[in-house]
Structure 1
């Protein structure tokens, strides 16, 4: 473990909280401007999150949370774990951290100007070094665990697209097998794969996509919805074909099914948020898990329901009880065994009257949707340790960044 921060550093960092509240976003925007001027470092980032502003916002919230909890970072353990898993997926290494530190300290000095006294700069240098050491140590533990797993690996491993199939008009599934023909590490249901892609006329891009299949020792399946403003999702849909080779890192992520819980399960998703949830449900089916499963899903219509056939099969054989909500349908198709159909969106009032207060909840979907579901469950006195959620991309909402 890194050496504890000095009392003087902790005092100075806490004194900087008002400045971070006022200028935190300007600092992180300036930090990324400096950091991304280095092409080698730029290639480590998802540039779409820079264009949307999500990444600087997420980091600003994280830095502020760190300052507020500088005396005892324990409440930030989930945030730190999520960051470490994300870094492992993207193959961030210890030698990358000094670049970030230099950019962050330079940004603080630039934005705060004369307020950035030598004592303040020295305190933030120590505070950044402490947090960097915490992350590096945790990431090294995860990398080591991957090498110990059967079929595990570190770095980028070549995988072949073994098959491609359309789930809806704008959503495709890709089954991936390792080029070397050796086993692959069994993921935890809910985790994601990270990809390093070289897109013509664009350059290097890195992305994460949830694994949508149950764990296996010879393949993974990812399911990608095409977004018109999504550079990589468009590339997968328009150009990725069977036989193509992709560079893939080992499964990562802190959103996964708790194997030790025996509680009932409630899965709540919207749109493409179903992808990690399907991995969980297929896993429970494969292992004949006897827990009750309530699946609640929102989408636009029957035509946009990803994995519709799988949902119907699981419901018909009694594996799950399903409620499907269609936001753009005025009338409903015929009812199906085990599936209740609804018009409109999943509302807090509906959830309050249909939830099992003894369940473990797993939530995935757009940010505002997840916030609504999480707040509703908390209002019903569901403890946060039983509410699990996944964020696609960077969390630009402070609540989701810190689980505050």
Structure 2
């Protein structure tokens, strides 16, 4: 356990915030370059796409700046710490990884900032990193011990079924090769899987939301195939799953993780509070898990399902959703389609044409007058923040708006 920072060290770290704001991306880009060159085995953990696009260095730069800014008020970082810790355990990050990261991060800071990194600054940042590492190691140990149980690391799964859900999205039904019952997960959580990429020479991990209610015999993920310019970069792993992995093939997963979920053990007001599930595109996947879990448990809590898709051709789970709405009068669905193909029936296949506009729903359908209502949002980053800002403008407390900030969280 690292000793607490002294007041002098805290002041020094805070004083570096302006330099980190100006040079943070240069620091983190150099950090990743040097660390991965010296420890190529870590390429099995880091997302190559996020490195290529610069998202990962940007995200780390933002995190380092936030840490320097709030080092005297770490409570403001608790949500970010939880999100990162959940991602770490999904990648099987271990305590021995932290000294490696610390070494190359401090070296990159010293290299980029040059003479500004005096011995006192170097000592303060070394102590600050040790404190941050302790925070993550402690929280991750708690998750491993309390939630993961005997399942540690990567576990082999067989693709039992591969089912197209739309022109873009295919579901993979994954059963444990050892046949042992699967632990339950919290609806909305994700798994990590990794596959070997020949041209990179290493494994590449990705996170995929679980898209069904918890079961003991399989997990389901529903994966979008990327097209056009996105195919070679953002579709590196997803497209391989579509094109190269078939029923009977084996892939490896980690235990479900993630801080975006509806608590299946909620009681009282928490169990009956209205639930708004707002998604766009493949952001539908955790919402289907939440919806299936909620109605499958016999809950009568009011649910507003609001989804936007480019067209009926690419929208997934249409028939499934219609069946749920027909059988459950407390579930209300509103579908936005950007493009109509001439065969859609308004009121059945869709409700509004165009991009999602929540002003087209009356306040009651969104539970805007209910202070207990909970809002779950998943989709492209800009979409999520637009929806969040809309809800806040309507008086919804920020603590009742939950977003699945996948990827690296750099926006």
Give the distance between the partners of 2:295 and 2:367, measured in 1 at CA: 21
Superposition TM-score, scaled by structure 2 size? 0.92
What is the aligned counterpart of 1:326 among 308, 331, 337? Answer: 337
Question: Is contact 1:325-1:345 (8 Å) kept?
Answer: yes
- Secondary structure of 1:394's counterpart equals coil
Counterpart in the other structure of 1:253: 258
Give the distance between the partners of 1:19 and 1:349, measured in 2 at CA: 43
Question: Is contact 1:322-1:340 (8 Å) kept?
Answer: no
Give the distance between the partners of 1:73 and 1:348, measured in 2 at CA: 35
Q: Are 2:221 and 1:222 equivalent residues in the alignment?
A: yes
Question: Is contact 1:189-1:257 (8 Å) kept?
Answer: yes
Unpaired segments ≥5 residues, structure 2? none
Give the distance between the partners of 2:325 and 2:408, measured in 1 at CA: 33
Unpaired segments ≥5 residues, structure 1? 398-404
Judging changes above 3 Å, is the alpha-carbon distance between structure 1 residues 368 and 123 closer, same or farther for their aligned structure 2 residues? same
Runs of 4+ in 1 over 6 A off after TM superposition: none
| Residue range with higher mean Cα deviation, 87-96 or 50-59 | 50-59
**Aligned length, in residue pairs:** 393
Deviation of 1:33 (Å): 1.2
Deviation of 1:328 (Å): 1.9
Counterpart in the other structure of 2:146: 145
Give the distance between the partners of 1:315 and 1:78, measured in 2 at CA: 34
Q: Are 2:378 and 1:364 equivalent residues in the alignment?
A: yes
Deviation of 1:294 (Å): 0.3
Question: Is contact 1:43-1:206 (8 Å) kept?
Answer: yes
Give the distance between the partners of 1:362 and 1:331, measured in 2 at CA: 31
Alignment of 1:5-404 (within 5 A): 5-37=5-37, 38-148=39-149, 153-202=151-200, 203-227=202-226, 228-229=231-232, 230-259=235-264, 260=266, 261=270, 262-317=272-327, 318-329=329-340, 333-336=344-347, 341-347=351-357, 349-350=359-360, 353=363, 355-357=366-368, 358=370, 359-397=373-411
1:226-258 alpha-carbon deviations (Å, 9 max, x no partner)? 112311011100011111111111001110013
Deviation of 1:381 (Å): 2.0
Give the distance between the partners of 1:218 and 1:209, measured in 2 at CA: 18
What's the Cα RMSD here? Answer: 1.7
Question: Is contact 2:90-2:192 (8 Å) kept?
Answer: yes
Question: Is contact 2:43-2:203 (8 Å) kept?
Answer: no
